[in-house]
Structure formats: structure tokens, C-alpha cells
């Protein structure tokens, strides 16, 4: 990340290695604060940790877990993999917590670098403080979520595309291309915003009075990393899953019908941010600031894409889009403040005429701080009843293992010692640990005929999670529709275990 920031500096400015130290210090502070407050690894972190452990063990479910679903992008898992290999087991420190802290700190430092390059001045520290103290941002930095990685790549992409529109530097276009390609690899939620960003770049280039050859060259540079990332993902699906379109098969089936439900105060918080960015868009249009228009339009694209995905029942977690809207609003406000200060410095009016402008700047900053901190703090204080539910979801994999998983093993072994339980879906990585019983097996691409052939003579069971939210997009649900309710081919209902349902696979025992 420090290399990224050094490349984004002007040529006349010497490379400062102090930002490396600032990044590491902030990462250590975030990680230490989360450990001190006793924050547990969230559900997403548990799943990605489990995938990394299976990868390091050389097992097939690990390779399938990286590329088999567009809802679980490969890049956050691959970012955790090196630390999962390097961290000793004696530390008992999940690698996903370290990665979240690193990218959370990188978001803050990259945001400060962007605002400083634009000339925001001392106000940038207040803006960064508003993001750093936001409880929602901190919570995701402490639970191993991929949201800090999303926000870091989003800030990189937004800054790069804005700088390219303003200065037409090739390096800015390259960083936008790489940032958007990596952002697409974080998951399906950010694909709509990446498409919107590519459309903005294409429209901006189409309006330029340059030759067609130059326009095609710009679009080639912007789209080549994105096309490479998509092609590589399809190739990995083809090699590992046997189907290049396996990861997107779930988009062809209807959703489970779960609507995106958020508290009223949270809706008001996002509405305030949207109004703020909308006001900055109007100011940018009045000033004929093409960079500001590009930045605010892409900022407003985040809640727009979230609303569109929720309308089509393809968004059950608002964090990747709506919570990433906060750093986008901070970046847009910092850009607007920088333009305002530049216009004030270039004006020939006296100090008496400048005081109202400075008062307006202070009001803008206070407005952002209220929207970014006071409302979420009030929300967290009011929704005390929601916190146990969040904590329950965050530790569901660990708690469930020690509560009913051993009992389930005794239940199936009571019938026969030769039993296998296929735990279907990505939640199996959170449920099963490396020291779990060999009775339980991961099943991301379950096939009835293959299981009967591979485990001939054994009593087979299927453990299927309830099809809700992102779990409804697991392959077991789109390959065998309504299997959780009606059962599947040659299956017999056995029992319920929390949100999981156990089915027995009935098979004829004929001599081989």
C-alpha cells in the first residue's frame, strides 16, 4: 500500500516513507483495540478462515471455496491466505483480523493522502477523524470483515478516476483500472458500482474532442485489468468446478424473498449522506468542475446500486455498499472544500468577504461529523436489543460447534459407526474446524450419484442450512430447488439442528 501512495505523488515531491510507519501504527492500534475490547471474529471472517485452512491443507473444498460463488469473492480470501500461513498457531490470532486492521488503516492513510493532494488543508484531519471514529467502520475493522478492503479499494478507485478526469495522467487511469478490477473480485455487491464507474469513464472519454484512436487506447487501458480478472475467475471455475459459469449460476434463480430491513435511524443516516453528496454535485455543476461531478456521481451510485439490488432481492447485507458510502462522502466533501479554498485564494475580495465562506466551511464539516458519528452512535445506543443478535451471528460458528455438533455426531454414530455427514454450503467452513470429527465433510458441489459411488456401503447424511439471505445462493439450493423444505432425490428427513436440517440419503445396497 505504501508503494501505491508513493506512486500517486507528484514527480516533484520526494517519496516519504513516514506513511509506511503511520500505516503500520494505525493497523496495530486498530488490532490492539479490537482484541482489548474482546471483539470476536464475524461470520464472514470464520468462513474465509476456514477456506484458507482447507487451502493450506491441500483439500478440494478449499479450492472450491475460493472461486465457486460470486457471493464470496476470491480476493479477500486470497489476501488472508499468506498471513494464515505465516502466523504461528501459538498466537491464536485469526489472520482475518490482521487483514481487516491493515486495510482499515490503509483506508485512513490513503484518504488523508488523497485529500492532501487535492489541497483540502487542515480540514482533512477532521474529515478523517469522522470516519475513524465511526462505530460501524470500527466494528468491521474488528470482526475480520472484508468491508475495510472494499473501502480501501473504493477510495483508491474514486481518487484515481477523479485525478484522471482533472489531469489526464496515465498513471491515475492505471490505478483506477487495477482498483476496479480488485474491487470486482471482492464480491457481487460491488459489481454494479464497478459497471457504473466504467460507464462514467467511457462517457467522459467519449465527450473529449480527441481522435478515435486515443479514445480506444484509454478504454483499453481502463478495461484490460477488469477483463483479465473476469477471465481468470472463469478459467479457475472451469478448471476446479468443471463449469466456467459455475460462480454465476445462482443469479439465474429467484431469491428467497428476504427484504433488506434496516432501522429507521440508519435510513436517515444514509439519506443525510446522500443529501450531502447531492449538494456537492450541484456545486460541482455550477463550478463546471468535471472531477467533482465524476466523484459525486460515483458516490451517489453506491446507494443507487444498493437500492436496485434490494429491489431485485439480491442484497441482504447493506454493509459493502451503504457503509462504503461514508468514505465516499468524506472524499467528496474534502474535494469540495479544496475547490472552495482554491476559489477563495484566487478571489480578490477582502477578508470581510471571506468570513462567510469560512463559516460555511465549518458548517459543512460539522454537518458531516453529525451524519458520520452522532447518528450512528445514537443508533447503537438505541438498538441495544439488536447487539446480542449481532454478537450471536458473529460467534455462531464457534458456539454451534461446542453446543450441538458433538451431539449430532453421537446421533449418526448411534445407528452405525460407518456414517458420513455432508455439510453443505459456505457456512460449513464456519461450522467445522480442522479438529472436527472425520464424520463431517464439506460439500460445496454435492452430487448424489458421486457420493454413493465414493462412499459405497456407508450411511450418508446431508446437513443443509436454512435458505435465507446469502445462504440461499449456495449451490445445494439452486441445484436442487426447495431441498430444505421438500427434500431431494432419495432423501429422508431426519431432524433439525438449529438453522440446519439433517436428511438421510437413502440408497440401495447391491453387491458391487
Write the DSSP assignment of 222-269 as a string of letters: HHHHHHHHHHHHHHHHHHHHS-TTGGGGGGGS----------HHHHHH
pLDDT for the residue numbered 231: 95
Q: What is the pTM of this model?
A: 0.86
What is the rounded average pLDDT of the residues 179-201?
91
Report the alpha-carbon distance of residue 287 to residue 282 in Å, rounded: 9
**Sign of the C-alpha dihedral, residues 67, 71, 77, 78?**
positive
256 band by pLDDT with thresholds 50, 70 and 90: low
Within 10 angstroms of residue 506's Cβ, the number of other Cβ atoms is 11
CB crowding 340-356: b at 16 or more within 10 Å, else e = bbeeeeeeeeeeeeeee
Report the alpha-carbon distance of residue 475 to residue 196 in Å, rounded: 28
Strand ordering across the sheet containing 500-505: 440-443, 419-424, 459-465, 500-505, 491-497
Report the alpha-carbon distance of residue 314 to residue 255 in Å, rounded: 7
What is the rounded average pLDDT of the residues 244-248?
92
- Is 502 strand, coil or helix? strand
Nearest to 434 by CA among 46, 50, 40, 89: 50
Residue spans of alpha helices (H) in 288-324: 290-311
**Average pLDDT over the chain, rounded to whole?**
81
Cell 475460493 maps to which residue? 66
7 band by pLDDT with thresholds 50, 70 and 90: very low
pLDDT for the residue numbered 464: 92
Between β-strands 459-465 and 500-505, what pairing exists: parallel, antiparallel or unpaired?
antiparallel
Encode pLDDT of 477-503 as tens digits: 888 888 988 887 788 888 888 889 999
What is the rounded average pLDDT of the residues 70-87?
92
- Is 492 strand, coil or helix? strand
Write the DSSP symbol of residue 482.
Answer: T
pLDDT for the residue numbered 339: 67
Encode pLDDT of 331-386 as tens digits: 988 888 876 666 655 554 444 444 556 556 655 665 666 566 656 655 554 443 33
Encode pLDDT of 421-454 as tens digits: 999 999 999 888 877 788 999 999 988 888 888 8
For 9, 63, 471, the CA distances from 241, given in Å and listed in that order, are: 43, 9, 19
310 band by pLDDT with thresholds 50, 70 and 90: confident
* Range ranked top by mean pLDDT from 43-52, 129-138, 501-510: 43-52
Q: Is the pLDDT of residue 400 over 70?
A: no
Encode pLDDT of 141-163 as tens digits: 998 889 999 999 999 999 999 99
Report the alpha-carbon distance of residue 315 to residue 310 in Å, rounded: 5
Rg for the chain (alpha carbons), in Å?
25
Report the alpha-carbon distance of residue 408 to residue 415 in Å, rounded: 12
Bridge-partner residues for 442, per DSSP? 423
The phi-psi region of residue 415 (left if phi > 0; otherwise alpha if psi is between -120 and 50; otherwise beta) is alpha
**Sign of the C-alpha dihedral, residues 103, 104, 106, 107?**
positive
Report the alpha-carbon distance of residue 353 to residue 360 in Å, rounded: 12
Report the alpha-carbon distance of residue 331 to residue 319 in Å, rounded: 18
Q: What residues contact 333, with CB distance under 8 A and at least 6 apart?
A: 127, 276, 280, 364, 365, 368
Amino acid at each position: 500500500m505504501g508503494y501505491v501512495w508513493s506512486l500517486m505523488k507528484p514527480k516533484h515531491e520526494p517519496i516519504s516513507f513516514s506513511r509506511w510507519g503511520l500505516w503500520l501504527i494505525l493497523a496495530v492500534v486498530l488490532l490492539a483495540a479490537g482484541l482489548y475490547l474482546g471483539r470476536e471474529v464475524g461470520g464472514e471472517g470464520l468462513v474465509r478462515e476456514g477456506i484458507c485452512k482447507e487451502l493450506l491443507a491441500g483439500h478440494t473444498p478449499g479450492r472450491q471455496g475460493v472461486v465457486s460463488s460470486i457471493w464470496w469473492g476470491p480476493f479477500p480470501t486470497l489476501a488472508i491466505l499468506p498471513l494464515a500461513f505465516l502466523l504461528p498457531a501459538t498466537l491464536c490470532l485469526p489472520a482475518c483480523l490482521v487483514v481487516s486492521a491493515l486495510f482499515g488503516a490503509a483506508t485512513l492513510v490513503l484518504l488523508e493522502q488523497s485529500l492532501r493532494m487535492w489541497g483540502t488543508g487542515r480540514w482533512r484531519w477532521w474529515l478523517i477523524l469522522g470516519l475513524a471514529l465511526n462505530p460501524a467502520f470500527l466494528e468491521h475493522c474488528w470482526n475480520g470483515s472484508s468491508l475495510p478492503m472494499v473501502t480501501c479499494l473504493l477510495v483508491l478507485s474514486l481518487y484515481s478516476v477523479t485525478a484522471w478526469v482533472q489531469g489526464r495522467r496515465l498513471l491515475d487511469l492505471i490505478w483506477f483500472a487495477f482498483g476496479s478490477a480488485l474491487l470486482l473480485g471482492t464480491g457481487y455487491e460491488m459489481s454494479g458500482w464497478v459497471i457504473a464507474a466504467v460507464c462514467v469513464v467511457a462517457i467522459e472519454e467519449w465527450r473529449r474532442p480527441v481522435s478515435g484512436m486515443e479514445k480506444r487506447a484509454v478504454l483499453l487501458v481502463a478495461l484490460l485489468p477488469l477483463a483479465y480478472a473476469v477471465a481468470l475467475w472463469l478459467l479457475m471455475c472451469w478448471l476446479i468446478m468443471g463449469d466456467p459459469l459455475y460462480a454465476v449460476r445462482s443469479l439465474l434463480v429467484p431469491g428467497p424473498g428476504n427484504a433488506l430491513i434496516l432501522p429507521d435511524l440508519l435510513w436517515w443516516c444514509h439519506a443525510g449522506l446522500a443529501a450531502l453528496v447531492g449538494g456537492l454535485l450541484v456545486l460541482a455543476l455550477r463550478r463546471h468542475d468535471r472531477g467533482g461531478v465524476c466523484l459525486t456521481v460515483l458516490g451517489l451510485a453506491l446507494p443507487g446500486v444498493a437500492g436496485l439490488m434490494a429491489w431485485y432481492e439480491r442484497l441482504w447485507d447493506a454493509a459493502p455498499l451503504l457503509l462504503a458510502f461514508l468514505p465516499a462522502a468524506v472524499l467528496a466533501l474534502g474535494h469540495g472544500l479544496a475547490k472552495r479554498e482554491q476559489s477563495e485564494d484566487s478571489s480578490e475580495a477582502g477578508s470581510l468577504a471571506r468570513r462567510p465562506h469560512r463559516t460555511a466551511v465549518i458548517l459543512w464539516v460539522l454537518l458531516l461529523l453529525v451524519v458520520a458519528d452522532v447518528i450512528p452512535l445514537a443508533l447503537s445506543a438505541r438498538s441495544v436489543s439488536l447487539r446480542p443478535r449481532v454478537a450471536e451471528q458473529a460467534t455462531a460458528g464457534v458456539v454451534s460447534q461446542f453446543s450441538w455438533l458433538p451431539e449430532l455426531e453421537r446421533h449418526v454414530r448411534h445407528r452405525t459407526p460407518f456414517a458420513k455427514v455432508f455439510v453443505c454450503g459456505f457456512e460449513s467452513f464456519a461450522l467445522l474446524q480442522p479438529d472436527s470429527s472425520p464424520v463431517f465433510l464439506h460439500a460445496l458441489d454435492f452430487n448424489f450419484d458421486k457420493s454413493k459411488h465414493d462412499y459405497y456401503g456407508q450411511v450418508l447424511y446431508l446437513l443443509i442450512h436454512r435458505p435465507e439471505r446469502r445462504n440461499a445462493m449456495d449451490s445445494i439450493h439452486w441445484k436442487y430447488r426447495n431441498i430444505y423444505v421438500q427434500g431431494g432425490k432419495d432423501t429422508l428427513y431426519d431432524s433439525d439442528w438449529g438453522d440446519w436440517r439433517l436428511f438421510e440419503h437413502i440408497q440401495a445396497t447391491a453387491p458391487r
